[in-house]
Structure 1
Amino acid sequence: MNLKAQIPNFFTMLNLFCGCVALVFVADFGFYWAFGFVCLGIFFDFFDGFFARKFNVAGPLGVQLDSLADMVTSGVVPGYVMYKMLAEAEVNSRFNAKLNTIETLQNEIYVIPFLGFLITVGACYRLAKFNIDTRQSDSFIGLPTPANALFVVSLPLLWNPDVCPYQVIDILTNTWFLLSVTAISAFVMNAEIPLFSLKIKNFSVAKYKLQLFFVLLSVLMLVFLKILAVPLIILVYVLLSIFNNIVNKKASN
């Protein structure tokens, strides 16, 4: 057995392990811990590809393992988080409407929260499509599942008056808002929208000025906005990519 070839697979397994642990915390509404383990899983996901390229040991087994691990960490976890958020939003909305007591409401089964798993379905389709799409070696088409996972898993962390004003929290806990996020999330992962990659092969300020600007802006947002910066960074990433596509299209005409 080539031990060097197993190093990337080891990091992939760590990604999968982090995803499994995150699921346990989501089940108990431990969203902060779940977010932390998703971040750790994405960190390991980056290094499995890094070592595969560095040791020149990339192969079909690693590709399949990577997608299976991502399916848990960046597919099942955000879908489960959205399910939990929608369930909580449903309970709160019905309680505020004084339709029943909180004890009875918590024992009811709602259909709407299960729609949160459309994120999982969208992630599964994207990962399968990514494995056979030869166009995404240097950039992405559609939002990568790890970025989408970070966006979704960070949302319940904003349900805190120390992070967001009450008016914003009211929006973030609204069932229709969460369903909209679910639909947009599943769509953007699979949309034919070219997104710039942060992989830098031959460093050049002129060539990678967009990437450098995005990284600098992300750091500043994290410093000043902290956890609120996470979903905003993903939004900025998509919007910058769309703007870059428009500029490049005009330049080529």
Structure 2
Amino acid sequence: MGESTAPVQTTRTTIRVIEALQELDTAGVSEIADHLDTPTSTVFDHLQTLQQYEFVTSNRDGYSLGTRFLRIGGYCRRNNNLYQTAQPELRKIARKTGEHANLMIPEFGKGVFFAKVEGEDAFRLDTYVGKRVGLQTTAAGKAILSTLPTEEVDEFIEHHGLPEVTENTITDEKALFEELDVIRERGFATDDEERIRGVRCVGAPLLDNNNEVMGAVSVSGPKSGIQDARFEEEIPNLVLRTANVIEVNLKYQ
């Protein structure tokens, strides 16, 4: 008899409680229960268990996620060759451009910001390590999609759709495939206010020795500072070079 693929209800509830705390920040039992439409007693039991194992903390304002998640996340990155190899190159390109340098990896059909470095001129963005976004909404995500076979892109669209984030987000399947063709031809992708208004981004894919995508590197910054030749040539060249250095370093480490 094969292994069951049915979800374990208790585990699923625990995960929903954790996700609720991430969305609500600090919250009381009743607020979390209302958010999840789950009995207060059930939420309380899960919170107590999470607190017992030091995944959740509490004070008079309510419950919050604990730093033990940070330890687990740090372990995931510390033991990842791509992160270890890319991090020094991200620092270099952030210093050269003055903007945000990002490393994104694909996971469960989303783009995950796996590392980021801020340059001297970088302004505040909503991105943080671990943030998950729609692949078609960012330069790094589109760079990743450009490396996939057509059938895999079709599966991505079927499962995740092409939801609109800004008025510039690609929401049409034909338009996405046309852009992916352009990305393959020139080697890099761009994002012109497609996830955040006023922000532009340039990204390039990272491929392993088997030509399989590992992730993408990108540079993002304010539209006012990334225009004309800087958007079309200067930053793309730096991003392509950075991607190439990371790939070569991974190959010969």
| TM bracket, shorter-chain basis | under 0.3
- Which one has the bigger helix percentage? 1
- Which one has the bigger strand percentage? 2
User: Could you tell me the TM-score, scaled by structure 1's length?
Assistant: 0.24
